Structure 1
Amino acid sequence: MIAGRAKWWRSLRAVLLLLGAALVIIAFAGPQYGSRTRVLRKRGIDIVIALDFSKSMLARDVHPSRIKRAKGELERLLADLDGDRVGLVAFAGDAMAFPMTVDYSAVRLFLRDLGPMDMPVGGTAIGKALIASKRLIESSNESRSDEGNPDRRSKVVILLTDGEDHEGDPIAAAEELQTTGIKVYAVGIGSGSGEPIPSYTADGTLIGHMKDANGRLIMTALSAENEDTLEEIASITGGEYVRAEEGTVGVTEIRAELAKLQASERKARRVTVHENRFALALLPGFLFIVLEAILPEAWIVRRRRRKT
């Protein structure tokens, strides 16, 4: 009789183990049943500020200087943002990037502390700045996709420069951005007549103006050719070009365009979400497995009690 009961207990254990394993496998397959309507609200856009830190940005044809006016306008832009991710690309002859963030105070600190004298490579490379901006946005989107949150928010580069590109191919770079849906809003800073470039010591003391090897003043201007390049960059990517006027650097006009994108991104939309039902299989499955592990102990205890 005891042998018969032992066989019955072993059969029960086998059934429980099989049922438990089957239910756990079903649960991990992700069964879905039923659906519901969910309202999704997207927050903000991705903005990369590509700011020219070449020495020509020290020119003072825009008061108090091209670079200081640009920084001031960007600080006002940051004050208007809410929920938008912002990255910064500082460029001269090369480009360096500050990661995308919603911590605008960190972006402000980076802007305030960096100047043209801090750039390791002189010159102006707009093409490199655009490619660095593209990579910055893409790396941010990849990290969100890895977390299971594919990101389709609007992507914008705000390019502020005097347009004097000395190397690379900014038009080819713009075409690369266009293929990934990144719009470039370009702001040309400076006068068309030309302005000498101030020269400073390491501690920021003005000591005159920059000169070439022949002792002549180096002049910088937002030429018609430079403007044509910036206009083409904006046109290729679906953005806009704005020329800086005295007292502003054109960021005010760009803010209006950003507001349109922000309004579109934040518009609510309804989606149908299928309900996951894995818990209905997972919980019973684990329960059966636990019972299977407990039952042998119950059988041994019962046998010992009968012997005593």
Structure 2
Amino acid sequence: MHFVNFEFFPLMLLPSLILLYLVLTNKSLIERVFNDEILAKLRIDQGLSKKVRLSLLFSALFMMIVAMARPVYQKGVVEVESLQGNLVVALDISRSMRAKDIYPDRIHFAKKKIEDLLGRLENIAVGVETFGNGAYILTPPTADKEALLYLLDKLNIDNLIAQGTDFLAALSSANMLLKDYKEKNVLLVTDGGDKSEFSKEIAYAKAHHLRVYVLGVGTAKGAPIPDGAGGYVQYAGKIVITKRNDAIAALAHATGGKYVVARLDNKDIDELLQLLKEVQKTKKSQKIVDQVEFYPYFVALALLFLALSFFDIPGKGVVFVLPLVLNVHLHAGLSDFKVIKEAKDAYKRGNYKEAARLLGQIAKEKGSPQSYYDYANALYKNKEYKRAIENYNRVQTENKELEFKKLYNLGNSYFMLQNYQKAIEMYQKALAIKDDEDARYNLELAKKMLKKKQQQSNKQKQNQQKQQKQQHNQNNQQKNQQQKQKEEEQKQQKQETQQLKSGQKNQPITNREEKKWLRQLKREQNSALLYKIPDNLIKKEEKNENPW
């Protein structure tokens, strides 16, 4: 067994022993006046003596020092193998990648393809770099996909424009990033530049055991290159048309990789994932020291000595207390501290939803007034005012300060729900405990808002009554008009009947009478009758060619 942090012994143990000696040899004023026999008769048995308590405290301190020195027993060195391949993705940022033969342009399309690939890779440490006339590292190989995707998302490729395409720079940079690996894999995401042969790149890749895969971006038809000023790049007075250079496939095939043409769908990514399956099975060896840690045992002893020194235990009761202390779980409460820390961090970051979730767990487990209060505060910050009120009401305490805070925050919660009457009630209860400037200000504000709400309610009620009255008047007016119209029609009908009886049958009717009869016919809605015209009154065709 040896100590990993042996320096803790000379730094902390020696001063602790000197302090222990000074404390044990120093007598109090009473001990200097009376001898031991008289003190024994005067002293009431209060459990452990001063010297025993001090010995326990310094024993706890000693155990803590030993724990910090980390005693370990080393069994030996073990070689561990893990499945983890490697890959460096190199993104071409040359000017030709601005061509728009693929939407929105080649470089943005290529970046999206890289994001899709990284999101689906497993068991591979991936590094990312960009290259043009030189190489630029975004991140070294890592298995943290979230970090990779975050960095790639924050990569502002709109400002990255390079003259030329240096594939050797990309390969040498990848070789540097993968220097700790035997087998090295590189994925070039590029339009292939404008080279016709890649003998130098092939020779370099073979010499450094680089397997090169290529994802070709662009079309065989090609497109002009925007110059950033609203025009296109020209050469010798003519617009340059850049095409996907498939000649780079020779670099992939010569090094054991493969050339894949980028597509609008995900079949190109599926093909790359299939090719990289062998890379995912690559085994990585690592030598680690197999050792057993003993510091938890010394921490447990330190806690035991601290517990014994702080409690008043009669001399005869020590034997019965020891088994109880030893049965305490060593990790009890440690998870609570971790959750509390995470909740505080989330609260500081403004992530009140996560803070409420974590504090809710603590409140459920502990059920203490403070835990419910903290939980309610997080709910309030997350604008869950009703749930906040429920948990504030669970805070039952005799602590006046906590009770004041609870009532004050209850008032705030009711205020946010526009229940100003309850808010006033809570503020008044809080002020009954202690006078507070903020509480008084909120109380006056709640009273003003309640008065304003009541005025608005009264005004709204008056408007409703006014509208109802107007509607009632309109209904009555309409009813009177209908009654008057009905009476006039009845009167007119009576007159017409009298005229018919007096023999005035052939007298033409007036326009008013005609309108009245038309309205009556509409109300009756009788079925229409067909009238057959006599044959002698119409002219017929000799033969009907189309009967339809």
- TM-score w.r.t. length of structure 2: 0.35
Q: Distance in 1 between matches of 2:103 and 2:252?
A: 25
Unaligned runs of 5+ in 1: 1-32, 142-150, 202-206, 277-308
Secondary structure at the aligned position of 1:242 is classed as strand
> Which residue of 109, 122, 130 maps to 2:171?
130
Amino acid at match of 1:210: V
Partner residue of 2:343? none
* Residues 1:265 and 2:265 are matched in the alignment: no
Query: Which of 254, 259, 263 is the matching residue for 1:241?
Result: 259
Is residue 156 from structure 1 mapped to residue 185 from structure 2 by the alignment?
yes
Report the residue type matching 1:68 in the other structure: H
8 A Cα contact 1:243 1:249, kept in partner:
no
Q: Which residue of 1 aligns with 2:201?
A: 173
What whole-Å deviation, never above 9, does each CA across 1:93-124 have from its counterpart, x for those lacking one? Answer: 111123222233343344332326324x4111
After superposition, residues 1-308 of structure 1 pair within 5 angstroms as 40-98=80-138, 99-112=140-153, 113-115=155-157, 117-119=159-161, 121-138=162-179, 141=180, 151-152=181-182, 154-165=183-194, 170-200=198-228, 207-212=230-235, 214=237, 216-222=238-244, 226-228=245-247, 230-247=248-265, 250-262=268-280, 264-265=281-282
Using the TM superposition, give the Cα deviation of residue 242 of structure 1 relative to its aligned residue in structure 2, in angstroms.
Answer: 1.3
- Structure holding more helix per residue: 2
8 Å contact kept, 2:175–2:184: no
CA shift digits 1:143-180 (9 cap, x unpaired)? xxxxxxxx54x42101111111469x843233222233
Q: Where do 5+ consecutive residues of structure 2 fail to align?
A: 1-74, 291-548
Aligned to 1:28: none
Query: Aligned-residue CA RMSD in angstroms?
Result: 3.4
Amino acid at match of 1:175: A
Distance in 2 (CA, whole Å) between partners of 1:181 and 1:250 is: 25
Question: Separation in 2 of the partners of 1:72 and 1:130?
Answer: 22
The aligned length equals 214
The structure with more radius of gyration: 2
Q: For residue 118 of structure 1, what is the amino acid of its counterpart?
A: L
Aligned residues with identical type, % of pairs: 29
CA shift, 1:266, in A, is 5.7
Q: Distance in 1 between matches of 2:79 and 2:190?
A: 41
Q: In structure 2, give the amino acid aligned to 1:219.
A: I
Contact 1:197 1:218 in 2 (8 A): yes
The two structures have a TM-score, normalised by structure 1, of 0.60
Conserved in 1, the CA contact under 8 Å of 2:175 and 2:210?
yes
* Aligned equivalents of 1:246, 1:62: Cα separation in 2: 9
CA distance in 1, matches of 2:172, 2:267: 23
Three-state SS of the structure 2 residue aligned to 1:78 is helix
Code of the residue aligned with 2:246 in structure 1: it is E
Post-superposition Cα deviations, 1:268-307, rounded to whole Å, max 9, x if no partner, equal x9xxx9x99xxxxxxxxxxxxxxxxxxxxxxxxxxxxxxx
CA distance in 2, matches of 1:95, 1:171: 20
- Given that 2:202 and 2:255 are in contact with CA atoms closer than 8 Å, whether structure 1 keeps it comes out as yes
Highest RCO, 1 vs 2 (Cα 8 Å, sep ≥ 6): 1
Other structure's SS at 1:42 match: strand
Decide whether aligned partners of structure 1 residues 212 and 247 sit closer, same or farther in structure 2, where only a CA change above 3 A counts.
Answer: farther
The answer to which structure has the higher strand fraction is: 1
Please give the per-residue CA displacement for 1:163-217, whole angstroms capped at 9, x wherever unaligned. 11469x843233222233321111211111220112436xxxxx34333362x32
CA displacement at 1:81 relative to structure 2: 2.3
